[in-house]
Each structure stands twice: as C-alpha cells, then as structure tokens.
Amino acid sequence: MNDMTNFTKIKDIGEFGLIRRIGELTSHSLPSGFTGIGDDCAIIPGSLGAQYAVSTDLLVEGVHFVKSEIGGRDLGYKSLAVNLSDLAAAGATPCGAFLSLALPEDTDVEFVDEFSKGFDEISKAYGCPLLGGDTTGSKSGIVVNVCVIGHRGKNATVSRSGSKPGDIICVTGALGDSGAGLEYVLNPALERDEIAVELIKRHHRPVPRVEEGKFLAQRPEAHSMMDISDGVASDLPHILERSSVSAEVELENLPVSDLLQNKYGSQPSKLYHYALHGGEDYELLLTVDSRYYADLSAGFEKKFGKPLCAIGRIVAGDECKARYIENGFGMMPGGAPWSHFC
Amino acid sequence: MNDMTNFTKIKDIGEFGLIRRIGELTSHSLPSGFTGIGDDCAIIPGSLGAQYAVSTDLLVEGVHFVKSEIGGRDLGYKSLAVNLSDLAAAGATPCGAFLSLALPEDTDVEFVDEFSKGFDEISKAYGCPLLGGDTTGSKSGIVVNVCVIGHRGKNATVSRSGSKPGDIICVTGALGDSGAGLEYVLNPALERDEIAVELIKRHHRPVPRVEEGKFLAQRPEAHSMMDISDGVASDLPHILERSSVSAEVELENLPVSDLLQNKYGSQPSKLYHYALHGGEDYELLLTVDSRYYADLSAGFEKKFGKPLCAIGRIVAGDECKARYIENGFGMMPGGAPWSHFC
C-alpha cells in the first residue's frame, strides 16, 4: 500500500513548507561563525572578523515576470536588484554577482543584449561586477538565477532574530506601488494612465536600499532587519518567528506613495491591501529599540532625506502573530498571501 | 528597416558566443585580487591572502536531465556534485552551497524529499552545508541552480591560463563513461545490460575530484587546471585560448574504464568519441611542467592510488587549436561538440 505522502504535492505544502522540508532533510551543524537558512543572507566568516554575506534569487518566466511586459533591459536590472536588496537587509557591501541564464534557443540575441545592458546598469551603479555564471538552453521559458556576495564588518550583526517586545517596527519607504503595478502587468486589458505606467515601472525597477541597509545594520538599536519581498503581511512573520515575539501594526501608519494615494485614496481597503500584501517593494523592514527610535530616524532622515516610518510595535507573545489595527480596532488583513506557487 | 541583429537567435551564436556577448556588455574593471568570467571559479580575495572561490551551475529538465531517468535522489546528488567539481578545478575546499529550485506545483513532495536526501548525502561527504537558496513554482519543468563557495590558501593560484609549450596534458581518471551512459538515458529503447546500468550510474553520480584538485592546485608545476564538464575536445580549447598555446593529443592515450573497454573495445572510433566528446565525466584536466611530471604523477598515485594519465602535450601556436593524433597521424576529431543549446 502506498504511503499517503506519495500523493502530497508541493502546492499542498506551499513555499515555506517546502523550504522547511528541504532544510530539515539537509541540516547539519554549521562551522563556527556560519549562519545558514532563515535570514536574507547566509553569513560566511572571513579573517579578522569580516564576514561574507551571500544570497540567491530565482526568477522564472510566467511566475515572476511576463517577458513581453518587462522586456530584456528591466529584467536584467531587476534580476540583480532583488538580490542586492538581500545584501541591503544584511547591511553588506556588494562584492560581485553570478548569473545563471536558461534561454529558449529561439530567443532573440537582442533580448539578451538588452538584458545584459540592464544588468550592467545596476551592476555598475552598486559596484557589483558580474564575476561568473552559467548559460544553458531551456525547453520552455526564461529562467534567471542570480547569486550575490557582499562583505560587512564585524560590527554589522543584524539578522531577523533580534526583535524584543517594545521595539518600534519601521520601514524605509512607501509600500504597495510594486503590487499595484503588478495588477496591470497581469491584466493587460486594464487601461493604463500615467500613474499606472509609473506603478508598473516601480514593479520592474525596484530600488535596493543598500546604503540604507549599511547605515542601519551597524546600529545596535536596530534589532532585526529584512527586506520586503513578499509584502509586510508575509514578511513580518519571519521576524516574529525568528525572534519569538508578536506584533501590532497600525494600518493607517503604512506609508504609501503620492501615486497610490492619488489612485486609491478613496478606497482605504485597497490601499491597505497593496501596502500589506503587494510584495516586491524591496524596502527594508526593521525593528528598533523604542528608546533610540527618534534619534535613529533623525539620523536616517539627515542622511537619506526621509524618516524611518514607524508602522507598529513588537509585543510579547510567542504565538508569533501580527495583529493589524484600524482606528484602534484589531483586524486580520484580508487577501491571499503572496506566493510563488500561486 | 530592421537591423539584421534583430533576427539573430541565440541558437545561431551558441553557448560560448552568448557568454562572450554577456561578458562584453557587462564588463567593468574588477577590484584588485578579483578574477571573474573565464575560469571554473571566480576568485574573491579574503584577508591574509586567503581566497574565496565561487561557481554556479544550472540544471534544466529536458536539457540536462530526464526526470524519470535520474530520479530525485540522484538529481539532488548531481546538482551539488557538478558544482563541487568546479571548486576542485580551483583547488578550493568547499564552504557551503546555495540551492535554487523551481518546481511545477504538482511535483510530488516525495520527489523533493529524495532530492534533499541526495543533496544532503554529497553535502555531508564533502563538508559543504546547504546555507541558503530560493524556491519557486515553475510553469513547465524542474530547474535547479546551485552556487558553491570554497576557500583556498594563498599558494593555490592555478587557473586556466598558465599552460606553456612543452607541458604534459593530463587527466585524473577515465573518460567517456558518463557520455556513454547518457546515450541510454536519451534512448530508453536501447537494451540495458549490467554495463549499461553502471554507465548510467556514472552519468548520474559523477565524483567531484575535490581532494585531487586541492593536492594539484598548490603545486607550481601544475600550470593550468579545469574540470571536464563538456568533454576534452570542448574543454581543452578553453585552456589553450586562455594560455595562448596549442596542443597535440594522442587518442590512444585517452584513458577509458574497463567498462567502456569491454563494451566498445572493438570500435576504437566509438571509444574515442565518448572519451573526447562525451562530457560530464568531471575528471580534472591539467597541464604540467614536463620536467616534474613523473614526480608529480608518482606523488599523486601514492595519495590517490592512480597516476596522472598523460594524454598529450602543449605546443607553441597561438591559433589555440588541438591536433588529435591516432597512430602518429594527425586527425581532427569527428562528432558534434557538446552544447546545452543542442
């Protein structure tokens, strides 16, 4: 008789179930100074207290992007941008990138040229040269994997696991633009006004917050940090679980851009939806010792021209749940969670 | 009028044309101590002269493997094995691996479990823990990308570019088994005897020569080294081009296993074909100062129980071509080159 597990599909266990399963079946004790699965970057110790931070992200046609919408140049740009965002979350300075590219054999060379130019543009802007990779054919769509390596000094020790009750939860910028842009990408029939075009651009050209991450990671009052790739509602629980704490988030405090405010200001539920669930904003999410929040935010604003937006607080509670509050009343956010198995 | 390049497809320029094109469009000067595209691994300098070696390999269903033939366990094993082979070519000790996995949502969880077990098996055997990665859905087949990081001391400086006229060209073991095994994988109707089953196993479970690579990389008499992933006929030219030399290879000296000898001993052209073009043997290919070859091979044999097989010699000639010699008569090898865009 077949064991029931023979019939379980990965869509039944989801992305995080899958990661947990692979992690359990491959875990072995790491050498001293190494950290592995669970943060935005793994850490490999170098000499003299220096550390290497490493991360990798896979983009699959039809899952992460629509080729005809994104085009070669923005795909090249975004492939590296999302990885640089992981280095930002670890407070690491980029060293170099590795690009793996699977392409159908009838792909236009011009597409690859545009891809290379977009990749090169952000590579040069962030000082992250292409150091190697792999290319191959693909029987179906385009697949891009980028692996990045950065370094950080011994004072940068931020991870997802340091949050404490009382911490202020902050983000480094507006949320929801990318998710709102994705709506247009997925529904080509929707009419596109100027705002829509800009939102799509935010989806295709996220700005990794590398300098912001480096600034924050060396502040001991920044207790935890990660980048927002799947939306606050999906990402905050990673910090909560790794730190064994819970959270309260004030929906009205979620920062949104003027663009989003103009477009959906009269529909707060839509604004909250994009800001919480949109995904791919690639701002940083962090929790800060409340005693130092005002000073840190002032220092951040002086350097980057914008404050750290406080969106809630960490509370005790090892159920590791976030409670979302609107006008003082608790609620659970609606909408389906972001998943690359959807 | 459209520029003609608009109509060029990547199948027209091939894998190496593609790599060259991406390399040219993304090149910028690397910081001191870094090496990038062109070797099996990129090198990132650490402190105190230590170096990190990094490589990445992408495996795509239908291009690199047939899911029903390889099965989850061997796919997990092979995904890491081929990357460890790149570290071997750089003489680096594995530090850790990063796994990106795109899976159709109806993939059995059992397949993923088997994959994880195979990955874990070789990960533990080579001391190369899984440190991170990414998982996602796939609209078509399975895609696996692995990125590995190793470290090496300051005495290990071997690359592909150090060969000199007079060098002996060597390999660390038998060639052609994997390519012969692939024939059965691609032609399921072929009858499989015991030898066939073993050849298929060699194709699915290559042995990365990490200890051999570490031993050889710190010998200054080993002038160039790489791993054989595409077959000697495809891989040797990389050394020749990077070193600006040419080569002569004696077909009768290509080492083949007893298995292959038993199966195709009466068909030397078939033996030569597999040994030269088979691909995926993952032995090391190196060129050694002829004055020290005998000593190095004896030391190698003492440690690893087998000599370094001399298959030819490096000659002057910046056309960077290899001449293949059978019974003293020059010939060019037949057969189509190995390509993942075939």
Is residue A4 predicted with pLDDT exceeding 70?
no
pLDDT of residue B19 exceeding 90? no
Could you give the percent of chain B with pLDDT greater than 90?
A: 74
Give the model's confidence band at B336: pLDDT under 50 very low, under 70 low, under 90 confident, else very high. very low
Distance CA A152, CA A148 (A): 13
Residue B154's pLDDT band (cuts 50, 70, 90)? confident
On whether the CB atoms of residues B152 and B93 are closer than 8 A, the answer is: yes
* Partner-chain residue, chosen from A25, A130, A145, that has the shortest CB–CB distance to B120: A25
Q: Is B25 on the interface with A (CB under 8 A)?
A: yes
What is the per-residue pLDDT across B275-317, written as a single tens digit (0 to 9) for each?
999 999 999 999 999 999 999 999 999 999 999 999 999 999 9
Q: How many angstroms separate the CA atoms of A118 and A126, rounded?
A: 13
Nearest to residue B64, comparing CAs of A100, A21, A341?
A100
For chains A and B, CB pairs below 8 A equal 301
Question: Which has the higher per-residue pLDDT, A7 or A165?
Answer: A165
B8 in contact with A at a CB cutoff of 8 Å? yes
pLDDT average, residue stretch B155-172: 91
Confidence of residue A7 (pLDDT cuts 50, 70, 90): confident
Contacts of B116 in chain A (CB under 8 A): 21-22, 25-26
Quote the pLDDT of residue B330.
55
pLDDT of residue A331: 54
The answer to whether A11 contacts B105, with C-beta atoms less than 8 Å apart, is: yes
> For a pLDDT cut of 90, what percent of chain A falls above it?
74
**CB-based contact (8 Å) between A234 and chain B?**
no
Contact with chain A for residue B20, Cβ under 8 A:
no
Neighbour tally for A282: CB within 10 Å: 24
Per-residue pLDDT tens over the stretch A76-114: 999 999 999 999 999 999 999 999 999 999 999 999 999
CA of B259 to nearest chain A CA: how many angstroms apart?
30
pLDDT at A23: 87
Three-class secondary structure of residue B265 per DSSP: coil
Please determine, for residue A24, whether its predicted confidence score (pLDDT) is greater than 50. Answer: yes
pLDDT tens digits, A226-270: 999 999 999 999 999 999 999 999 999 999 999 999 999 899 889
The pLDDT assigned to A329 comes to 58
CB contact under 8 A, A131 and B44: yes
Average pLDDT, chain A: 90
A14: left (phi over 0), alpha (psi -120 to 50) or beta: left
- In the DSSP assignment, the letter for residue B219 is -
* Residue A147 φ/ψ, nearest 5 degrees: -120, 130
**pLDDT tens readout for residues A189-240:** 999 999 999 999 999 999 999 999 999 999 999 999 999 999 999 999 999 9
Task: State whether residue B145 sits within 8 Å of chain A by CB.
Answer: yes
- The pLDDT assigned to A330 comes to 55
Q: What is the mean pLDDT of chain B?
A: 90
Residue identified by tokens 């194709």 is B203
Residue B6: is its pLDDT beyond 90? Answer: no
Asked whether the beta carbons of A207 and A172 are under 8 A apart, the reply is no
- Measure A2 CA to nearest chain B CA, in Å: 12
Tell whether A18 is within 8 A of chain B (Cβ): yes
Asked if the Cβ–Cβ distance from B63 to A13 is below 8 Å, we say no
Kindly determine whether residue B25 and residue A113, on different chains, have CB atoms separated by under 8 Å: yes
The answer to whether B44 contacts A105, with C-beta atoms less than 8 Å apart, is no
The pLDDT value recorded for residue A2 is 44
Confidence of residue B255 (pLDDT cuts 50, 70, 90): very high
Contacts of B6 in chain A (CB under 8 A): 108, 110
Mutate to test the interface with B, among A119, A136, A146 (most CBs of B within 10 A): A136
Q: What is the mean pLDDT of residues B159-167?
A: 93
Of residues B38 and B91, more confidently modeled:
B91
Confidence of residue B318 (pLDDT cuts 50, 70, 90): confident
Q: Does the CB of B137 have a partner CB in chain A at under 8 Å? A: yes
At B331, the pLDDT band (50, 70, 90 cuts) reads low
**Interface with B, mutate which of A4, A80, A100, A124 (most B CBs under 10 A):** A100
Characterize A116-155 residue by residue with b for buried, 16 or more Cβ atoms within 10 angstroms of its Cβ, and e for exposed.
Answer: bebbbbbbeebebbbbbbbbbbbebbbbbbbbbbbbbbee
Could you count the other beta carbons within 10 Å of the beta carbon of residue A203? 26
Q: What ipTM was estimated for this complex?
A: 0.89
- Distance of residue B40 Cα from the nearest chain A Cα, in angstroms: 9
B34: nearest CB among A113, A131, A147: A131
Using CB atoms, pick whichever of B21, B56, B98 lies closest to residue A133. Answer: B56
Interface test with B, best of A12, A13, A21, A25 (most B CBs within 10 A): A25
Task: Note whether A194 contacts B: Cβ–Cβ < 8 A.
Answer: no
pLDDT above 80: residue B339: no
DSSP B36-59: -BTBSSEEEE-GGG-EEEEEEEEE
Q: CB distance A131–B56 less than 8 Å?
A: no
Would you say A251 and A324 are in contact if contact means Cβ atoms under 8 Å apart? yes
